[in-house]
A = this chain, B = another copy of it.
Amino acid sequence: MKMFGKTTKLLVATAMLAGLSTVSLAKDKVYKWKLATTWGPTLSPFIDAPKNMAKLVKEMSNGRLIIRVDASNKHKSAFGILDMVKGGQYDMGHSASYYWKGKDINLLPFTSMPFGMTAPEQYAWFYYGNGMELMQKAYSKHKVLSFPGGNTGNQMGGWFRKEIKSVDDLKGLKMRIPGFAGEVMAKLGLTVTNIAPGELYTSLERGTIDALEWVGPGMDIKMGFHKIAPYYYTGWHEPATELQFLVNKKKFNKLPTDLQQILKIAIRVSAYDMYIQNYQMSAKAWSKMIKDYPNIKVKSFPTSVMAAMKKANKELLVEKTKNKPLLKEILDSQASFQKEVREWTKMSDYLYLKDNL
């Protein structure tokens, strides 16, 4: 009880004198929560975001809210996060919203969209546009609260064994590229497959696949793809992949107001921090990659390929939003926000960088 100071000691002594053997204050009730992540226990920086969040909550709440973070090897259900938080088996989750597009297509746009916003643009949409409002609206039928949970920044377009000079070069290629971007690539004539992370390196080495997309240098370096596929294409499909924290709404509502606020702020700061952490990891990893493997060639897809991707993407969006008013509302909100904010990005960071590369 030493943290309580003199007055409490006196009070405790008095209470003891009065015959009470143990003393606890309702105000000091300890909440013990569990959080399930999609990620393995060492998948930095993804796993760091929930771990940092839990650490901050513990420190700021003086131990009144303790959150245990379970990696996927513990709960064995990497893609069951939404269901487990919804069902209350877990109080919280950490994953990516676009993984739930099969269950609920309205949850697709909150991670990142092809040719979409960059990280600061997208944070502006979430926090100072109507992104947060639309995200809660989409998640409300699942009785789950959703918050931005960390950004990877711009993801690279992937590792290719051969250079891509035209749309024809893409046709027939086998590529590991999941999600919406995979659908775009399939429209361009690629054979899109999904392969477990542990088998990716061997599949690429043996030619079972010709190309693959992972994240960016910070996370790619451990996978070793740069040793066997020299063409590293710049990104188009996930310009600002935002992860999400999910919170069971009922459980959240039972927390005292100060703990609710501590939780929300710890979530918000851990998300921003992951963006910055991955920025530094990517810079460091890229510097090492290119030093150790000077033959890596950074390429952007040629204009003709990019145009074909944009066209396929546009057509897919029209298909997907047919009779889906909420999905359309979310995508329209993103598109109009992006149109306005991109003008600022162009005249600020873009034109500055152009003269300072």
Question: Interface residues, chain A, CB within 8 Å of chain B?
Answer: 3-8, 10-11, 14-15, 17-18, 20, 23-27, 56, 59-62, 115, 118-121, 123-124, 127-129, 153-154, 156, 216-217, 234-236, 239, 256-258, 261-262, 265-266, 268-269, 272-273, 275-277, 279-284, 286-287, 290, 298, 300, 303, 306, 340-357
Contact = CB atoms under 8 A, between A and B. Distances in A.
Contacts of A20: 10-11, 14
A154 B275 CA distance: 18
Contacts of A17: 18
A258 B61 contact: yes
Given A56-B265, A123-B279, 7 more contacts: A14-B20, A56-B261, A120-B275, A120-B276, A236-B352, A283-B340, A300-B351
A343 to B, nearest CB: 6
B234 A347 contact: yes
Given A3-B27, A283-B340, A357-B346, A352 B121 contact: no
A351 B262 CA distance: 38
B352 A298 contact: no
A229 to B, nearest CB: 16
Contacts of A256: 3, 62
11 contacts: A6-B26, A118-B352, A127-B273, A129-B280, A153-B348, A265-B265, A279-B341, A300-B354, A303-B355, A306-B355, A342-B357
A274 to B, nearest CB: 11
Contact of A349 (B153, B261, B281): B153
Contacts of A121: 279
A268 B283 CA distance: 22
In the complex, the count of this chain's copies comes to: 2
Contacts of A3: 27, 256
B348 A353 contact: no
A252 to B, nearest CB: 15
Nearest to A45: B128
Contacts of A357: 342, 346, 350
Could you tell me the dominant secondary structure of chain A's interface residues?
Answer: helix
Contact of A258 (B60, B341, B346): B60
A344 B7 contact: no
Contact of A120 (B120, B217, B345): B120
A331 to B, nearest CB: 16
Contacts of A24: 7
A31 to B, nearest CB: 14
Given A349-B154, A357-B342, A27 B5 contact: yes
Given A6-B26, A18-B17, A59-B261, A283 B124 contact: yes
The 3 closest A-B pairs by CB, nearest first: A5-B26, A154-B348, A128-B280
Nearest to A239: B352
A27 B8 CA distance: 8
A25 to B, nearest CB: 5
Contact of A119 (B5, B7, B120, B281): B120
